[in-house]
Structure 1
Amino acid sequence: MKAAVWDTYVKKKNGEIMHFDIIAPDHINDTALIFRYGKDYLETKGERGQELSTKECKFCHIENLAPAQEELIKRDGFFIIEMEGCNP
C-alpha cells in the first residue's frame, strides 16, 4: 500500500514545537480530513485547540508502507509518526 506523508509542525501551548508526520492513504487529498487526523492526535497529547492548517501541515511525499503500518491504516484510517517534542 502507498501512503502520503504530511509533515507537520505545531506550536504547543507551552510554546515548544511538536514535529510529527500524519500518514494516510495516498488517495486522500482532502486537507480537511488530514487536519482532522492531526487534531485528533493533538487532543490525545493534551494540545486541543492548537492551530493546524496548511501553514503547519504540508504534503511531503508518497511512500510504501510496511505490513504493520498497513494494518494501522486499515484499523484507524491513518497513523502518526512522532518526530520531535511529542512527549513531555
Structure 2
Amino acid sequence: MSTADSQPRTQQPMHVFDVYARSEQGRILHFDVILPVNDPERALASARTWLQSIGHENASVQAENCAFCHTEAETPPQFEEEIRERGYAIYKMEGCPR
C-alpha cells in the first residue's frame, strides 16, 4: 500500500466564514463555518443548521454576520470527518457550547 493510500487526507482548499449569531436570550455565539466551496449562502444555511442542532433554532444569524474570512490550502485534519459527514465543519469560539 502506498503512503497516499494509507492517508485519506482531503487535499482541497477549505473556505472559512466568520459567524456571529444572537441567541433568544441575547447571548452572542461566535463560530466559524468551514466549507469545501466558497459559497456565502451555503455558509449561512450551514450556520443555521448547526444552531438548530445545538438547541438554538431561534437564534438570529444574518448574511451580514456571516462573512468570508479566508481560505485554507487544505482541510485541517481535525475537521475532515465532520466535513465528510455533514458537508461543513464548525470551529467554536465565543459563547458556543463545548
The number of residues matched between the two structures is 86
Matched, 1:18 2:18: no
Counterparts of 1:74 and 1:44, CA distance in 2? 17
Structure 1, unpaired ranges of 5+:
none
TM-score (ref. length: structure 2): 0.76
In terms of fraction of residues, the more helix-rich structure is: 2
Q: Does 1:75 align with 2:85?
A: yes
Percent of counterpart pairs with the same letter?
Answer: 31
Matched, 1:39 2:48: yes
Q: Distance in 2 between matches of 1:69 and 1:47?
A: 22
The structure number with the bigger radius of gyration is 2
SS of the aligned residue for 1:72 comes to helix
Give the 3-state SS of the residue equivalent to 1:58 in structure 2: strand
For the aligned residue pairs, the C-alpha RMSD in angstroms reads 1.8
Shift of 1:68: 4.2
Compute the TM-score of the two structures, normalised by the length of structure 1. Answer: 0.83
Deviations 1:15-47 (A, max 9, x none): 11000000001x342x22211110111102221
